[in-house]
Amino acid sequence: MDDFRANVAQNRDALLAIAKKNPHMAYQKVNELALFVGSRHGVNLQLHFPVPAKVADVDAYGTENIGIVVDKFRRTFPVAREIVKHKAVEILGPDARALDAYMYEGKEGVKVIMTESSRIEVLPGSVHLWCRVDDERVKKYADWLMENVYFVSASG
């Protein structure tokens, strides 16, 4: 995420000019940038704009509503789902509620609800951060997921 934010900062003026003229084009360009940065890290990085007007807020790019797809075909977690849920509460705090979700056709997942408008959807092959990702707790949980769920070493 830091790499993506640095790329946005480096291209801020161009993105801002595009966003003012054509928000749809800005959406395309920022997601091209996300795909480029993600490819350097072996993931498909996606920015989502559930509120279309947020496309014009270039300074917010990479701070909220992000999807990180590692393996879209993975159906189960490489660790127990209960561990994913426990770590969510441990790292994000006692107000976070970690629930089983998306449990169908042999798939599994976890939905972590932090507030009415902030949640994290953890699937075996991807994580979707529907919240502010510049919160240190969210970063810490995402880092834990990357190390323990998505990029588990074959030796460990």
The answer on pLDDT for 1 being more than 60 is yes
The answer on pLDDT for 154 being more than 60 is no
pTM for the structure as a whole: 0.91
Q: What is the pLDDT of residue 155?
A: 44
The answer on pLDDT for 6 being more than 70 is yes
Q: What is the pLDDT of residue 153?
A: 65
The answer on pLDDT for 145 being more than 50 is yes
Q: What is the pLDDT of residue 137?
A: 96
Count other Cβ atoms within 10 Å, centred on residue 51. Answer: 9
pLDDT tens digits, 66-110 = 999 999 999 999 999 999 999 999 999 999 999 999 988 889 999
pLDDT tens digits, 7-60 = 999 999 999 999 999 999 999 999 999 999 999 999 999 999 999 889 999 999
Q: What is the pLDDT of residue 156?
A: 44
